[in-house]
């Protein structure tokens, strides 16, 4: 019964974060789906967010990521700003950073949410749907996140 309650809490956390992103989204935002690995934990993750043009070469990318840890819950809510370099076509390159709220809830301890900073670099391939590869470093926990995603 506890495992069912834990899974329900995890699903509710992710659904709530996605609902908050959807309510705050501007009309020209695109959906951002991603997956990959949190290297320090050696665990896969799944994530979703929004991607929209800010001003000039700046893009906003609020997103959530859920890491599939064995015992407990681990996830992040990220509010990232990306600077896309003008390449005149595909591929597109960017660097950026932002705020990460890191949530941990081990099964045998109290939950905790801490603010951290993200440092990001990526490459995307244009078209109607835009697949991409991205590397992110989360300060304070020393975690590299390697991801592949698609924006549409």
Query: What is the Cα 122 distance to its own chain's centre?
Result: 13
Domain that holds residue 59: 2-151
pLDDT digits (tens, 9 = 90+) for 85-123: 988 888 999 999 999 999 999 888 889 999 999 999 999
Place of tokens 């995890």: 10
pLDDT digits (tens, 9 = 90+) for 52-87: 999 999 999 999 999 999 989 999 999 999 999 988
Is 34 exposed, middle or buried, given 0-12, 13-18 or 19+ CB atoms closer than 10 A?
Answer: buried
Residue closest to 123 by CA, chosen among 138, 115, 135, 113: 135
Question: DSSP letters of 64-79?
Answer: EEEE--SSSEEEEEEE
Q: Supply the CATH number for residue 66's domain.
A: 2.40.160.20
Q: How confident is the model at residue 7 (pLDDT cuts 50, 70, 90)?
A: low
- Per DSSP, the chain holds a count of helices (H) and strands (E) of 1, 8
- Whole-structure pTM over 0.85, yes or no? no
3-class secondary structure, 2: helix
Give the chain's domain count: 1
């Amino acid at each position: 019964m506890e495992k069912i309650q834990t899974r329900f809490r995890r699903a509710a956390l992710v659904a709530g974060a996605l609902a908050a992103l959807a309510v705050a989204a501007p009309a020209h935002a695109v959906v951002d789906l991603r997956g990959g690995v949190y290297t320090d934990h050696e665990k896969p993750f799944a994530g979703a967010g929004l991607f929209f043009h800010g001003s000039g070469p700046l893009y906003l990318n609020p997103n959530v990521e859920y890491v599939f840890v064995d015992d407990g819950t681990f996830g992040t809510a990220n509010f990232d700003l990306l600077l896309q370099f003008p390449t005149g076509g595909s591929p597109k390159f960017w660097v950026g950073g932002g705020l990460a709220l890191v949530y941990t809830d081990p099964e045998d301890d109290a939950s905790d949410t801490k603010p951290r900073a993200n440092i990001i670099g990526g490459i995307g391939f244009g078209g109607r749907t835009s697949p991409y590869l991205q590397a992110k470093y989360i300060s304070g926990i020393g975690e590299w996140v390697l991801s592949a995603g698609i924006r549409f």
